[in-house]
Structures are given as C-alpha cells and as structure tokens.
Amino acid sequence: MKKTYNHFARLVTVAVFFSLILAILIWRMVDLTVLHRQFLQGQGDARSIRVIDIPAYRGMITDRNGTPLAVSTPVESVWVNPKEFAPDKEQFMRLAKYLNLTPKELSRKIVYAENREFVYLQRQIPPTLSKKIEALKIPGINFQKEFKRYYPDSDSISQLIGFTNVDDQGIEGIELAYQDWLMGVVGKKRVIKDRLGRVVDDLGILKEPRPGHELTLSIDRRLQYLAYSELGKTVEEFSAKSGSVVVVDAENGEILAVANVPSYNPNSRGHYDKETYRNRALTDTFEPGSVIKSFSIASALETGLFTPDTIIDTNPGWMTVHGRTVRDIHNYGVLDVTGILQHSSNVGVTKMVLSSPPEQLIGFLQKCGFGQRSDLGYPGESEGGIVKAKDANPFVLATLGFGYGLSVTALQLAKANLIFANKGRLIPVTLIHNDTPTPGIQVIQPKTAEQVLLMMESVMNKGTGKAARIPGYRVAGKTGTARVAGKNGYKDRKYTASFIGIAPVSKPKFVVAVIIHEPSRKGYYAASVAAPLFAKVMSGSLRLFNIPTDEPVG
C-alpha cells in the first residue's frame, strides 16, 4: 500500500512540475505577443536584413611606363529616407553645412522627395566628410560606398583619356572605348542595419566583387606633357583657335602623344563647354594643303613617268586647268621633282598628277588611310573624306594634288607618313602598349619611299622647313598652309598651318604631326607657326628616348 502511495506522489510531483513549465511558457507567449507587441514591432522595424552592393574597383589606366593616368579613389555617397528623416534643428543646420547647401536647399531636397524612400543628398564625398555626417546620428541618413575617378595629369591628356560619370561609367575617350575592360563586377553581401541605416552586423558575402582590368596605353606621359605644354605656348603666341600634336613611334605604330589645346580639367568639369571634350586630333577634319604634296609626288614616282631628277617647267608661275587658274607664290621657273617639293610648287605638282588618270592619285591616297578610320576603336574618330574619281575633273584633281578636296585628321596625317619612315609599309597605329609590332602592308616600293624621304629632308635645308631643323639630327618634313573652308566658300584670312616630320632620317624613330588652326597674330604660314613647334616636340622626343644623333646633310 505504501509503495503504491509513493508512486502516486511521484507522478503528482512530475505533473505539477511540467504544468508549471507549461504555464510559464504560455505566460511568456502572452507577454510577448500581447503585452509587448508594440515593442517587438518597433525592434523589428528598427533592425532589418538588407542585401547591399560591394563596389568594384575600376581598372587603372597607365602610360607605357606604368605611370597612373586614371585611378579610382574610395568615396561615399550620402542618401536619405525622407520618411525617417528626423533631425533636430542643430543637426539639420550642421548637415546643411557639411553638404555645402543652404538650409533652404536641403529642406527643398527633402520635401520634393517626401513620398520616396531613397534620395541622394550628395554623391562621392570624401570618407572624412561622411564620418562627420554619420557622427550627427540623424535618423534616415544612410551612406553608400563608391569609387571616384581621379586623373593625376589633369588637362594635359584629358581629351584622350576622357572621364567617367558619377556612376563610374566611362562616357568619353579611353574611359568609354574600354568601358567593358575597365569596369569591375559589383559584389553583394547580407547585413543587418538599424533604424539609422547603420550596419550593425555583417552576415556574410554573397558574391565577391571583381575589380576591373588595368589598361596600359602606348602613351609616354613625359612626351605627352612636353607636347601639350609646347602646343599651349604656340597657340597662345599666335592667338590660334586651337591646335593638335600627334607623336607616333615609326617602328611599331604606337601613339606616344596626342595633345590638344584648348583642353579641360577632368577632375573639375563644371564650367567647361562640352565642345572642349573633343579629341580634335582624332575627331576634327580639315583640308591639309601642301603636306599632301609628298604623297602626290610619291604617287607620280610610282607610275614610272618621273624620277627625282625629272625636269618640269613651272613658268610663268601659273597655269590654266579646266578653265581655272593654279598659281605658285613665286615663279620658280624650271625645277626638278625634288625642287618642286622644296619650293612647294602647285604648278609643278599639278603637271605631275595630271599625267595620270584620277584613279592613280585618289587610289593611292586611300591606300595610305585617307578617307577611312584608323581602327583604333576610339569613340568619335572621323574617317575624313576624299573626292571620288568619277567627280574629279582636271581642276579638282589638280587641287587634290596640293591638299584641297580632301579632309583629314591630324592622326591620319601622322599615320600616312609612316610609309616614308618604313620603306613603303603602312603599319597600323595603336593606343595600347604593344611589344609585338604588326608588319603592315606594302603601299609603295621601298625605293620610292626612300626617294621621297630624302626629298622631304631637302625641304629642311633648301625649302620651307628650315625652322624645323634639329642640330645633330637628319630630319625630313613638309609644311602646309591651307585656307579654311566655310559654308559659303573659303574664309577670309583664315588658315591652317601644318607640319609633318620624320626623324632621324638614317633610322626613322618618330613621326610628328603639328596642326595649328586659324593663327591670327604674328603670321599664319606653317614655316613660322608650325615648324618651330615641330622642332621642339621632335627634339624632346629624341632626347627622352635617347636616340643617337646622326649626321645632318649639307
């Protein structure tokens, strides 16, 4: 009997114990779901799990030597949820001050977006400033980590490199052309944020960010700055509208410098005209004038009808072609072909090009790359234009021979002259550093290329290029002074001064093209405007690359 009682007592004790546990659990459930419901809802609203972006580093752009030309720096953007924005007066005033806004401007931003849950207050601010704003602890204020592009060389190379927008997307220049290569892939991570938008717990990365690729250009930063600096001085000295300089490595087609004036600061673009963003050396076309005569003579030599010693009578300094007059500045009388290039005789070149059908010269110019893009993949590059053979009456063909009736870019001129530096081969140009040169295509016979190169060298000593000579080096070149075309014919007293040169003649290393648009003071002839600038850029190029001197002729 006693044994039965003890067993019953134990059962009662266990039942009472579990009943108490159950009662406590029920009470806690009631407490949490009824009595503290509002509190828990507040906590749930105050803390939430979010998936946020991890910004990806945009690839750096460097020159051929690894010097940075475009880099990404960490910044933050500050945004607000207007529905949660609840600062006191002091917080509001300090926030406006940090954002460089008036209280009225800040208030307007909030009011205009009052029905939204996200609006930027300011993009890409320094981390030091974002920490000051975060320290205010204003409800509704949030931060977003980003990167901002910075360009160390500022305006000296801005039109080539271009820039990115506030979302780190390339929209001009190299930044646009190589957007897919440079851009990274954004990562993702899960975090817990409090009601102030602050991350209070990191729950882990869902997807790692992938940085963009680095891009090494063919540009030499030292040479780029030299070209830009000297170009700026020339544009200012002659009160020119604009100017461009292109330097190409004659051995492999690498573009070493592309300078334009006027330029702009890509780190602070607010007050610039968008027209300034153009890379004029690649986008703007013009009639080149007499710098084309080297090609006209090369084309004529290729026919076998002429040699450098062929005698041509340019008397009396003018001639009638298809009812129109072709003139020289002076009556040069009887000249050989070399003398025609030295004196830049329009009459002499006209007699040479008219000795063959239009297809001869026009086809040759097209083979040299005129009238087509250079395959750089650069946004906005112009193909220029050239008259069609069927439309070329004798006068049109004559003027084409001395540089009218076609439009070219500075880059096209530099590239085309590579045939004279490479024994008649036209090699492709590139903006990307390339250790393996491309063979190119044979456009003219090596003998013809050498003959024209020597004729261009004689221009430096006995012709219009004397101001482009460089002590200790053999230099070949050609001047060009062309009238500027307008909507209703050629503009009055508006000219383009050009000089294209190659050095050293004994073993060509560089081709330099100099274009000065509409000089308006101290003259306009290429011999006095463009040739001296060429000498400064070419001599600097030879020095920077430690090119040995060769013996000048004469």
CATH number at residue 383: 3.40.710.10
CA separation for the pair 348, 332 (Å, rounded): 9
345 in a structural domain: yes
If asked whether residues 242 and 199 sit together in one domain, one would say no
Per the CB < 8 A criterion, the answer to whether 138 and 79 are in contact is: no
Per the CB < 8 A criterion, the answer to whether 339 and 310 are in contact is: no
If asked whether residues 182 and 255 sit together in one domain, one would say no
The pLDDT-based confidence of 45 (bands split at 50, 70, 90) is very low
354 in a structural domain: yes
Q: Which of 23-27, 188-192, 437-441 has the highest mean pLDDT?
A: 437-441
How far from each other are the two terminal CA atoms of the chain, in whole angstroms?
Answer: 140
Per the CB < 8 A criterion, the answer to whether 537 and 511 are in contact is: no
If asked whether residues 359 and 506 sit together in one domain, one would say yes
Q: Give per-residue pLDDT as tens, 277-306.
A: 999 999 999 999 999 999 999 999 999 999
The pLDDT-based confidence of 15 (bands split at 50, 70, 90) is low
Work out the average pLDDT over 23-46: 55
If asked whether residues 168 and 293 sit together in one domain, one would say no
Pair of tokens at residue 95: 């926030």
Cis before 262? omega within 30: yes
82 in a structural domain: yes
Pair of tokens at residue 47: 């803390």
155 in a structural domain: yes
Which amino acid does the sequence have at 315? N
For residues 410 and 39, the model is more confident at 410
pTM summary value: 0.86
pLDDT of 84 > 90? The answer is no
Pair of tokens at residue 467: 């101001």
In this prediction, residue 280 carries a pLDDT of: 96
pLDDT of 38 > 80? The answer is no
Per the CB < 8 A criterion, the answer to whether 484 and 494 are in contact is: yes
If asked whether residues 209 and 328 sit together in one domain, one would say no
> According to the 3-state scheme, what is the secondary structure of 230-270?
HHHHHHHHCCCCEEEEEEEECCCCEEEEEEEECCCCCCCCC
Among the candidates 182, 216, 250, a domain finishes at 216
DSSP structural state of residue 179: H
Q: What is the CATH number of the domain that holds 83?
A: 3.90.1310.10
Per the CB < 8 A criterion, the answer to whether 140 and 88 are in contact is: no
Q: Where are the beta strands (DSSP E) in 55-118?
A: 61-62, 68-80
Provide, rounded to the nearest whole percent, the portion of the chain with pLDDT above 90: 71
If asked whether residues 323 and 395 sit together in one domain, one would say yes
CA separation for the pair 535, 475 (Å, rounded): 9
If asked whether residues 206 and 237 sit together in one domain, one would say no
259 in a structural domain: yes
Residue closest to 463 by CA, chosen among 301, 318, 348: 348
If asked whether residues 142 and 228 sit together in one domain, one would say no
Contacts of 508 (CB under 8 A, 6+ apart): 250, 251, 420, 421, 422, 453, 502
Pair of tokens at residue 474: 């053999």
Secondary structure class of 362 (helix, strand, coil): helix
- Of 77, 242, 244, 290, which one is the catalytic site residue? 290
The pLDDT-based confidence of 326 (bands split at 50, 70, 90) is very high
The four Cα atoms 340, 346, 351, 354 give a dihedral, to 10 degrees, of 130
The pLDDT-based confidence of 12 (bands split at 50, 70, 90) is low
37 in a structural domain: no
Active site residue 356: no
Among the candidates 216, 250, 272, a domain finishes at 216
Per the CB < 8 A criterion, the answer to whether 76 and 145 are in contact is: yes
Tell me which of 41-45, 73-77, 342-346, 412-416 is least confident: 41-45
Work out the average pLDDT over 523-529: 95
CA separation for the pair 156, 259 (Å, rounded): 7
The dihedral of CA 33, 37, 40, 41: what is its sign?
Answer: positive
- 200 membership: H or E segment, kind and range: strand 199-207
Strand pairing report for 61-62 and 215-216: parallel
Per the CB < 8 A criterion, the answer to whether 478 and 453 are in contact is: no
Place of tokens 């710098």: 291
If asked whether residues 238 and 198 sit together in one domain, one would say no
79 in a structural domain: yes
When divided into structural domains, the chain yields a total of: 2
553 in a structural domain: no
DSSP structural state of residue 172: S
If asked whether residues 196 and 244 sit together in one domain, one would say no
If asked whether residues 208 and 75 sit together in one domain, one would say yes
Pair of tokens at residue 517: 């648009």
Other CB atoms within 10 A of residue 448 CB = 21
User: Which domain does 204 fall in, by range?
Assistant: 50-216
The rounded radius of gyration (Å) of the Cα atoms in the chain is 36
If asked whether residues 419 and 522 sit together in one domain, one would say yes
| DSSP symbols for 129-166 | HHHHHHHT--TTEEEEEEEEEE-TTGGGSHHHH--B-T
